[in-house]
Amino acid sequence: MTVETVVLTGAAGQVGSVLREPLRRRLRRLISVDRVSLVAEGANETVHQAQLAGIEDVMSVIEGADAIVHLAGVPDEAPLADLLDGNVLGTHHVLEAARRTGVERVVLASSNRLTGCYPAAQTVSAQMPPRPDGLYGVSKVAVEALGRLYADKFGLQVVCLRIGSLEPEPSEPRHLATWLSPRDCAGFVWGALTRPGITFATAYAVSANTRRFWELDDRLGYHPRDDAEAYADRIPEATSYFAGDQLQGGDYATADYTLRHAFDQRPTDRSSC
């Protein structure tokens, strides 16, 4: 699939910040969008400060694009109303705007936390039922369901990437299974944008970690190159962590994590995922 112009929502967030430069190198035009102010980093990048609060708002920035990488939303556990607004309704706005403007492919940011209540000892594939580790994971189940609907009913090409722990390098025991290096992140997203023959796909975006929890999927045509095991000697707690009876979500899967975050009514930052 030939892709020349891509819209990147949530461009100021953790994932978006990693993707801007590698996408810009490969595209004729990158349109970066966030609710906070951005500065164009190259002649082929256009930036927009926008809330994307409705379908028409999204349509105004995606007209003429070949594809969308949708990262904007609430990036962690939060009150359910915020998650439904920022993640579920926000995704619906993007998908419907894509349908109306003729954008063919949409890459949606899903999350590994959609399956965080599986045991760490079990290898999980994208075809297995969701077991979210919190309300954030629940919102990502809905995001994937919306993507499936728009692929089946309206013919959009939709790829849902269950993004791992995106960090410059692993810094805690769980990362030895869940780490996604910046290089592999860019590779998975490019595969999701350009792989031909996809109508709908869900795949884990995770580096080739020796201890990973999730099956890698060849459908996107990208094979990750990095392995968190190269950093294992810097994380002395790793042996005891993986010997224990852990859930894949780690601390995210505890009751306290949801109770502390989901019922805190302070305003939630919805800038990026």
pLDDT score of 239: 85
Backbone angles phi, psi at 52, to 5 degrees: 55, 45
Q: Identify whether 272 is part of a domain.
A: no
User: Helix crossing, 55-62 with 90-101: angle to 10°?
Assistant: 50
pLDDT score of 272: 43
Q: Identify whether 273 is part of a domain.
A: no
Q: Identify whether 245 is part of a domain.
A: yes
Q: Which residues of the chain have pLDDT under 70?
A: 264-273
222: domain CATH number is: 3.40.50.720
Q: Identify whether 246 is part of a domain.
A: yes
Task: Give the structural domain span for 96.
Answer: 5-262
CB 6 within 8 A of CB 65: yes
Whole-angstrom Cα distance, residue 15 to residue 218? 22
Active-site residue, 150 included: no
Q: Identify whether 267 is part of a domain.
A: no
Whole-angstrom Cα distance, residue 67 to residue 196? 13
Q: Identify whether 238 is part of a domain.
A: yes
Q: Identify whether 171 is part of a domain.
A: yes
For residue range 111-146, what is the model confidence (pLDDT) as tens digits? 999 999 999 999 999 999 999 999 999 999 999 999
Q: Identify whether 101 is part of a domain.
A: yes
Whole-angstrom Cα distance, residue 106 to residue 6? 10
pLDDT score of 190: 98
Catalytic one of 118, 136, 150, 222: 136
CB 229 within 8 A of CB 210: yes
Domain count, the chain: 1
